[in-house]
Amino acid sequence: QKEVEQDPGPLSVPEGAIVSLNCTYSNSAFQYFMWYRQYSRKGPELLMYTYSSGNKEDGRFTAQVDKSSKYISLFIRDSQPSDSATYLCATSGRNFVFGPGTRLSVLP
Amino acid sequence: EPEVTQTPSHQVTQMGQEVILRCVPISNHLYFYWYRQILGQKVEFLVSFYNNEISEKSEIFDDQFSVERPDGSNFTLKIRSTKLEDSAMYFCASSVAVTSSPLHFGNGTRLTVT
């Protein structure tokens, strides 16, 4: 079983839609959870960081963690074409582990 | 906002040649990392470095690879004898603390081995 799984997409949505991106992880020792945005040929850019179950909001982005089901989500409200990128979830326990990323396209 | 900087942005080299990829981590960060991303694939861990020594390394990080912090600001990845399959984006990252604070990435060096 892979440590962090993520639907690779691609996911296409119209501008203004609410986007839901999801990951599952296998190791209950993972304590910290991150979402990164990666534009083509650029480094991953940290969007959200949390270490507890529940929701964390930052502007149009909300990260949700459910440790009981080992499920993490990122919601993007009022999506914009500039949100078109690959979104990587990551967890850490002893080391950082990344999901393969979901490619998102927001169509104008 | 402080950032991780990497040079060069693109490096082309011939198979068998040595390359050195350079990184300047964020100044108050103590943990340093190299990751690799082959085109279209996931970000893969290579090595972590703390207190002037390797903390962890993956099975990708074989004897052809080495890391060094030659001074107080630079962090380098050396590939001794490049292979075609080393062609990838190489990302440097740093963090304040191990795993309990997030990684901050540079924009990467695109290595092309011909």
CB pair distance less than 8 Å for A46 and B106: no
Rounded CA separation A22/A9 (Å):
11
Of the pLDDT bands very low, low, confident and very high (cuts 50, 70, 90), residue B98 is: confident
Q: Which chain A residues are closer than 8 Å to B41 by Cβ?
A: 100
Per residue in A53-89, pLDDT (tens digit) is 889 999 999 999 999 999 999 999 999 999 999 999 9
Residues in chain A: 108
CB B37, CB B89: distance < 8 Å = yes
- Output the pLDDT for position A1: 65
Say which residues have a Cβ less than 8 Å from residue B26's Cβ, sequence separation at least 6: B2, B3, B4, B94, B104
Of the pLDDT bands very low, low, confident and very high (cuts 50, 70, 90), residue B2 is: confident
* Closest chain A C-alpha to B99 CA, distance in angstroms: 6
- For B45, the closest of A32, A88, A96 (CB atoms) is A96
Residue B96 token pair: 């304040």
Residue A94 has pLDDT above 80, yes or no: no
CB pair distance less than 8 Å for A96 and B103: yes
Q: Which chain B residues are closer than 8 Å to A93 by Cβ?
A: 99
CB pair distance less than 8 Å for B56 and A46: no
Q: Token match 């074409």: residue?
A: A81
Written as one letter, the residue type at A107 is L
Q: Token match 């092309």: residue?
A: B112
CB pair distance less than 8 Å for B100 and A41: no
Rounded CA separation B88/A91 (Å):
23
Q: Which chain B residues are closer than 8 Å to A87 by Cβ?
A: none
Of the pLDDT bands very low, low, confident and very high (cuts 50, 70, 90), residue A34 is: very high
CB A13, CB A108: distance < 8 Å = no
CB pair distance less than 8 Å for B42 and A98: yes
Residue A30 token pair: 């993972």
Say which residues have a Cβ less than 8 Å from residue A21's Cβ, sequence separation at least 6: A6, A11, A35, A73, A74, A75, A76, A87, A89, A102, A104
- Output the pLDDT for position A8: 85
The bridge status of strand A61-66 relative to strand A71-76 is antiparallel
Radius of gyration of chain B from its Cα atoms, rounded to whole angstroms = 13
Q: Which chain B residues are closer than 8 Å to A31 by Cβ?
A: 99-100
pLDDT, mean of residues A11-24: 97
- Residue B24 parent element (H or E): strand B19-24
Q: Which chain B residues are closer than 8 Å to A45 by Cβ?
A: 105
Phi, psi of B86 (to 5 degrees): -80, -10
- The whole-chain average pLDDT of chain A stands at 93
